[in-house]
Amino acid sequence: QVQLQESGPGLVKPSETLSLTCAVSGYSISSGYYWGWIRQPPGKGLEWIGSIYHSGSTYYNPSLKSRVTISVDTSKNQFSLKLSSVTAADTAVYYCARYSSSANFDYWGQGTLVTVSS
């Protein structure tokens, strides 16, 4: 069974960089698929942030592209998100998920709430 688990600080100060990691178990990232980050502000809908392949190839949401970096560490079977220059608008639950060959997100982490506040 594929499992994903997000980890990282739950509180980030404005203008700083948000950093999260997604640990994958039950499947080797090196075997394929894209792996992505999605966020959900409190009470709002889902927003795709970006995705990465095991080779390191990335796709980012154009609205966030200038601030986002997603990287992969196949030796640890995990991938990471960095979002720079955060503001209160970046407060959200951040999910990591697998993007399947059928173009959907079939496995999700439980999500982690990140609050941007001084």
Partner 1 sequence: EIVMTQSPATLSVSPGERATLSCRASQSVSSNLAWYQQKPGQAPRLLIYGASTRATGIPARFSGSGSGTEFTLTISSLQSEDFAVYYCQLGYTFGQGTKLEIK
Task: Tell me the window of 17-25, 64-72, 76-84, 106-114 that interacts with partner 1 (CB under 8 A).
Answer: 106-114
Q: Is 48 in the site for partner 1 (CB under 8 A)?
A: yes
Closer residue to partner 1, CB minimum distance, 61 or 77? 61
Exactly one of 33, 35, 79, 95 binds partner 1 (CB under 8 A); that residue is: 95
The DSSP-derived string for 2-71 is -EEEEES-SEE-TTS-EEEEEEEESS-GGG--EEEEEEE-TTS--EEEEEEETTS-EEE-TTTGGGEEEE
Q: Is 42 in the site for partner 1 (CB under 8 A)?
A: no
Q: Is 105 in the site for partner 1 (CB under 8 A)?
A: yes
Give the contacts of 97 (CB within 8 A, at least 6 positions apart): 4, 35, 36, 37, 38, 105, 106, 107, 108, 109
Q: Is 103 in the site for partner 1 (CB under 8 A)?
A: yes
Closer residue to partner 1, CB minimum distance, 30 or 100? 100
